[in-house]
Amino acid sequence: MKTVKTAISIQKSLFDQADRLSRKLNVSRSRLFVLAVEEFIQHHQNQSLLEEINQAYADEPDLNEEIHLSKMRKQQRKLVEGEW
């Protein structure tokens, strides 16, 4: 995989925390930042997907769909009546 070198500016206190954590985890600071960005992106993608799913399910059936569903339920009851 091709890599790209980049420079970022962060607060000294955040840099120090990242440095300590990278040593604790025994990974380079670059690897720590990669892991953090990957996790952030994954979290954002998951949030976007959840919003799309919630939006899809927020659409309640309209009156015609409700009527159709009601007829389907009645037909289903007739089909299974007496089988249990």
Q: What is the mean pLDDT of residues 66-76?
A: 91
Q: Where are the domains of the chain?
A: 12-80
pTM beyond cutoff 0.75:
no
**Predicted local distance difference test score (pLDDT) of residue 61:** 80
Q: Which residues contact 28 (CB under 8 A, 6 or more apart)?
A: 22
pLDDT digit string (tens) for 6-64?
999 999 999 999 999 999 999 999 999 999 999 999 999 999 999 999 988 887 888 89
Q: Which residues of 39-49 are buried (b: 16+ CB within 10 A; e: fewer)?
A: eeeeeeeeeee
Q: Provide DSSP, 14-63.
A: HHHHHHHHHHHHT--HHHHHHHHHHHHHHHHHHHHHHHHHHHHHH----H
* Distance in angstroms (rounded) separating the CA atoms of residues 13 and 6: 20
